[in-house]
Amino acid sequence: MRKTPRFHLNNYLSRVGSQVNAALDRFIPDETVEPPTIHKAMRYSLLAGGKRIRPVLCLAACDAVGGKTANAMPLACAVECIHTYSLIHDDLPCMDDDDLRRGKPTNHKVFGEGIAVLAGDALLTQAFELVALAKPPRRHDIATMVRELAFAAGSLRLIAGQVQDLENENRRASLDEVRTTHMNKTAALITASIRLGAMAGNATAPQLGRLTKYGQDLGLAFQIIDDVLDATSTKEAMGKSVRADQKHQKSTYASALGVDKSRALAARLIADAHKQLVIFGDRATPLRVIADFFLTRKH
Amino acid sequence: MRKTPRFHLNNYLSRVGSQVNAALDRFIPDETVEPPTIHKAMRYSLLAGGKRIRPVLCLAACDAVGGKTANAMPLACAVECIHTYSLIHDDLPCMDDDDLRRGKPTNHKVFGEGIAVLAGDALLTQAFELVALAKPPRRHDIATMVRELAFAAGSLRLIAGQVQDLENENRRASLDEVRTTHMNKTAALITASIRLGAMAGNATAPQLGRLTKYGQDLGLAFQIIDDVLDATSTKEAMGKSVRADQKHQKSTYASALGVDKSRALAARLIADAHKQLVIFGDRATPLRVIADFFLTRKH
The pLDDT of residue B259 is above 70 = yes
**Minimum mean pLDDT range among A115-129, B70-84, B217-231, B247-261:** B247-261
**How much of chain A exceeds pLDDT 90, in percent?**
83
The residues facing A100 across adjacent strands are A105
| DSSP code at position B240 | S
> Whole-number mean pLDDT of chain B?
94
Quick check: pTM over 0.90?
A: yes
Q: What is the pLDDT of residue A161?
A: 97
At B290 the three-state DSSP class reads: helix
**How much of chain B exceeds pLDDT 90, in percent?**
83
The one-letter amino acid code at B177 reads E
Model confidence pLDDT, tens digit, residues A8-29: 999 999 999 999 999 999 999 9
Q: What is the pLDDT of residue A1?
A: 44
| Helix (H) and strand (E) counts in chain B | 16, 2
- Between CA A217 and CA A276 the distance in angstroms is 10
Report residue A5's pLDDT band, with 50, 70 and 90 as the boundaries.
low
- Which is nearest to B87 in space by CA: B120, B118, B55, B54? B120
Region of residue B233 (left: phi > 0; alpha: psi -120 to 50; beta: else): beta
Count the Cβ atoms, other than its own, within 10 Å of residue A138: 6
Q: What is the pLDDT of residue A6?
A: 78
Burial of A174 (0-12, 13-18, 19+ CB in 10 A): exposed
Rg of chain B over all Cα atoms, to the nearest angstrom: 18
Which of A112, A122, A159 is nearest residue B155 as measured by Cβ atoms? A122
Model confidence pLDDT, tens digit, residues A196-211: 999 999 999 999 999 9
The nearest alpha carbon in chain B to A164 belongs to B35
- Between CA A161 and CA A154 the distance in angstroms is 10
The pLDDT of residue B275 is above 80 = yes
Handedness of CA B122, B124, B130, B136 (dihedral sign): negative
Chain B hits for A114, Cβ within 8 Å? 92, 94-95, 166
Residues whose CB falls within 8 Å of the CB of residue B124, separated by 6 or more in sequence, listed in order: A121, A124, A125, B81, B82, B85, B153
- What are the residue ranges spanned by the domains of chain A? 9-296
- Between CA B223 and CA B229 the distance in angstroms is 10
The pLDDT of residue A54 is above 50 = yes
The one-letter amino acid code at B222 reads F
The nearest alpha carbon in chain B to A120 belongs to B121
The pLDDT of residue A76 is above 80 = yes
Model confidence pLDDT, tens digit, residues B118-164: 999 999 999 999 999 999 999 999 999 999 999 999 999 999 999 99
Count the Cβ atoms, other than its own, within 10 Å of residue B80: 26
Model confidence pLDDT, tens digit, residues A85-135: 999 999 999 999 999 998 899 999 999 999 999 999 999 999 999 999 999
Q: What is the pLDDT of residue B157?
A: 98
- Between CA A60 and CA B148 the distance in angstroms is 30
The pLDDT of residue A236 is above 80 = no
The pLDDT of residue A4 is above 60 = no
CA distances from A216 to A191, A241, A291, B172 (A): 6, 26, 12, 53
Model confidence pLDDT, tens digit, residues B5-50: 578 999 999 999 999 999 999 999 999 999 999 999 999 999 988 8
The residues facing B101 across adjacent strands are B104
Q: Are A214 and A176 in contact (CB under 8 A)?
A: no
At B90 the three-state DSSP class reads: helix
Could B35 and A92 be called an inter-chain contact, meaning their C-beta atoms sit closer than 8 Å?
Answer: no
Q: What is the pLDDT of residue A243?
A: 75
Which of A112, A156, A159 is nearest residue B121 as measured by Cβ atoms? A159
Count the Cβ atoms, other than its own, within 10 Å of residue A246: 13
Residue from B40, B81, B129, B130 to probe the interface with A (highest A Cβ count within 10 Å): B129
Q: What is the pLDDT of residue B129?
A: 98
Count the Cβ atoms, other than its own, within 10 Å of residue B32: 7
Report residue A246's pLDDT band, with 50, 70 and 90 as the boundaries.
confident
Could A122 and B95 be called an inter-chain contact, meaning their C-beta atoms sit closer than 8 Å?
Answer: no
- Which is nearest to B162 in space by CA: B102, B82, B106, B49? B82
The one-letter amino acid code at A90 reads D
- Closest CA of chain B from A292, distance in Å: 33
Query: Given CB atoms, is A92 within the 8 Å cutoff of chain B?
Result: yes
Report residue B1's pLDDT band, with 50, 70 and 90 as the boundaries.
very low
Q: Are A23 and A17 in contact (CB under 8 A)?
A: no
At the top level of CATH, the class of B9-296 is mainly alpha
Interhelix angle for B113-133 vs B69-90, to 10°? 160
